[in-house]
């Protein structure tokens, strides 16, 4: 391969040599576009939110107990509380179905059921979020309202259920890859010792795949907090601290629903406009940290305990 690095030594015609250089430069430009895009996104979000942070104060903004745009009070505590509550419940539903499904696909399913389930999961992953939101408004919200005698079914619970269900395919796909990467010898060794298949899964396969599974869960946390349309339509969009803090039956708001719900009506350049960018900036920071830490966690667990 060494000679490929120095085309000039290999007597290629001059025109082709420069053509190759030109193509390489183009490809290089394409490769660094994503770095450029990431830098630009961070730059524009911090630039636009800077004004809000300066006007309101960083601590008042992040920890303030009230989000009341009409009174120019912008505290993100209610939004953060809503996001934490929604993410927790949604993640519970997500893991409850997603991980067993991955186990089924990688350990139990025969050829036939795999051929049905794999495309089904991929299709489910492709359902647009606005369609989930639409079904959420017309079916889930109505169901919750009737079942639990709520003032309105638009609630943190509705958002959690919807988001939890939405991201099952994403979790399952990554978990299945992690489970499949565990070498056959491990499982066969365990089975040969007389363990049942479930004992093998629990004591051998799952621990060996744990780094991948934990990384998948962290990535999914990022996806859940960042999901917009479905959340916007069902959470109720009332940015107020739930009154026992764990009251999932109350209306609430999360980062994305506040931004998407209020950006349409806000005056360009007002303090409210910049505050919404600040909310977006905090969201971006959280999700980016989660994404990078998913990678680091995977590497750390693999280094410490081995695994796949």
Partner 1 sequence: MRKIRPAPLASIVVALFLLTSSLVCLVIQPDPIPLVSFWMGGLFLDLVLISASALTLRQDVSPGGRALWTRGRVLPLAADLSYLLAVILLVFFGLVGPGLELEFLGLSAVFTYAIVLPFLVFLASFLAIKDSINLLYGYSSRGREVLVFSMVRLSAVFTLILLGGIISVILFRGIGAISWEFLTQPHFRLGTEGGISTCIQGTFWLVMGAMLISAPLGIGAAIYLNEYSRHSGLKRVVTIAVGCLNGVPSVVYGLFGLAFLVATFGLSLLAGSIILGLMNLPTIILTSQEALKSVPNSLREGSVALGASRWQTVRKVVIPSALPGVLTGLIIGVARAAGETAPIMWTAVTFSATPVQMYYGIVPDVTQPVNNLCYHLLNLIYFLGAWDVEEKAWGTALVLLALVLSINMVAIFVRNHYRKKISW
Interaction residues for partner 1, span 73-132 (CB under 8 A): 97-98, 100-101, 103-105, 108-109, 113, 116-117, 119-124, 126-131
Please give the Cα distance from 294 to 278 (Å, whole number). 24
> In this complex, which beta carbon is closest to partner 1, that of residue 71 or of residue 244?
244
Minimum separation from the CB atom of position 42 to partner 1 (A): 9
Residue ranges of alpha helices (H) inside 127-167 are 129-135, 141-147, 156-166
Q: Which of these, 244, 231, 253, lies nearest to 82 by C-alpha position?
A: 253
Please give the Cα distance from 170 to 174 (Å, whole number). 7
**Number of residues located near partner 1, criterion CB under 8 A:** 105
> In this complex, which beta carbon is closest to partner 1, that of residue 77 or of residue 150?
150
Query: HSE on the CB side for 193, CA within 13 Å?
Result: 10
Question: What would the x/- binding string for partner 1 be over residues 249 to 268, using CB under 8 A?
Answer: xx----xx--xx--xx----
If one asks whether residue 50 binds partner 1 (CB under 8 A), the answer comes out as: no
Among 287, 293, 297, 301, binds partner 1 (CB under 8 A): 287
Structure-token match 């339509």, residue found: 233
Residue 68: strand, helix, or coil: strand
If one asks whether residue 296 binds partner 1 (CB under 8 A), the answer comes out as: no
> In this complex, which beta carbon is closest to partner 1, that of residue 11 or of residue 71?
11
If one asks whether residue 193 binds partner 1 (CB under 8 A), the answer comes out as: no
Question: 201 to 240, contacts with partner 1 by CB under 8 A?
Answer: 219, 222-223, 225-229, 233
Phi and psi based region of residue 32 (left: phi greater than 0; alpha: psi -120 to 50; beta: remaining): alpha
Query: HSE on the CB side for 35, CA within 13 Å?
Result: 5
Q: What is the 3-state secondary structure (H, E, C) of 238-296?
A: CCCCCCCCCCCCCCECCHHHHHHHHHHHCCCCCHHHHHHHHHHHHHHHHHHHHHHHHHH
Which residues, listed in sequence order, are joined to residue 236 by a DSSP beta bridge? 252
> In this complex, which beta carbon is closest to partner 1, that of residue 151 or of residue 300?
151
Give me 138's structure tokens. 């017309």
> In this complex, which beta carbon is closest to partner 1, that of residue 17 or of residue 66?
17
> In this complex, which beta carbon is closest to partner 1, that of residue 56 or of residue 206?
206
If one asks whether residue 45 binds partner 1 (CB under 8 A), the answer comes out as: yes
> In this complex, which beta carbon is closest to partner 1, that of residue 27 or of residue 70?
27
If one asks whether residue 297 binds partner 1 (CB under 8 A), the answer comes out as: no
Minimum separation from the CB atom of position 81 to partner 1 (A): 15
Stretch that binds partner 1, among 52-60, 66-74, 81-89, 282-290 (CB under 8 A): 282-290
If one asks whether residue 57 binds partner 1 (CB under 8 A), the answer comes out as: no
If one asks whether residue 248 binds partner 1 (CB under 8 A), the answer comes out as: yes
> In this complex, which beta carbon is closest to partner 1, that of residue 71 or of residue 259?
259
CA separation (Å) from 128 to 115, 123, 125, 230?
Answer: 23, 10, 8, 9
Question: 123 to 182, contacts with partner 1 by CB under 8 A?
Answer: 123-124, 126-131, 133-135, 137-139, 146-151, 165, 168
Minimum separation from the CB atom of position 108 to partner 1 (A): 6
DSSP one-letter string for 198-219: HHHIIIIIHHHTHHHHHHHHHH
């Amino acid at each position: 391969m060494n000679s490929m690095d120095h085309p000039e030594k290999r007597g290629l015609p001059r025109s082709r040599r420069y053509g190759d250089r030109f193509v390489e430069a183009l490809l290089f430009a394409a490769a660094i576009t994503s770095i450029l895009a990431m830098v630009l996104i961070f730059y524009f979000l911090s630039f636009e939110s800077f004004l809000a942070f300066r006007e309101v104060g960083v601590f008042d903004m992040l920890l303030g107990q009230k989000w009341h745009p009409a009174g120019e009070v912008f505290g993100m505590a209610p939004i953060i509380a809503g996001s934490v509550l929604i993410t927790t419940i949604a993640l519970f539903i997500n893991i409850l179905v997603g991980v067993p499904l991955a186990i089924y696909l990688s350990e139990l399913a025969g050829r036939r059921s795999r051929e049905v389930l794999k495309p089904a999961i991929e299709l489910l992953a492709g359902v647009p979020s606005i369609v989930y939101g639409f079904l959420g408004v017309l079916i889930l919200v109505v169901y919750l309202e009737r079942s639990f005698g709520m003032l309105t079914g638009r609630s943190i619970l509705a958002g959690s259920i919807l988001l939890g269900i939405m991201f099952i395919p994403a979790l399952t796909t990554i978990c299945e890859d992690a489970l499949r990467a565990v070498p056959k010898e491990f499982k066969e060794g365990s089975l040969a010792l007389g363990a049942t298949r479930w004992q093998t899964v629990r004591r051998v396969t799952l621990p060996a795949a744990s780094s991948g599974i934990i990384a998948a869960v962290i990535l999914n946390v990022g996806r859940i907090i960042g999901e917009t349309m479905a959340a916007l339509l069902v959470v109720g969009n009332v940015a107020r601290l739930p009154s026992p803090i764990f009251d999932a039956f109350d209306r609430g708001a999360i980062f994305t629903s506040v931004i998407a719900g209020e950006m349409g009506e806000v005056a360009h350049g007002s303090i409210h406009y910049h505050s919404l960018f600040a909310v977006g900036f905090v969201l971006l920071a959280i999700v980016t940290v989660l994404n990078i830490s998913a990678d680091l966690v995977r590497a750390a667990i693999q280094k410490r305990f081995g695994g796949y």
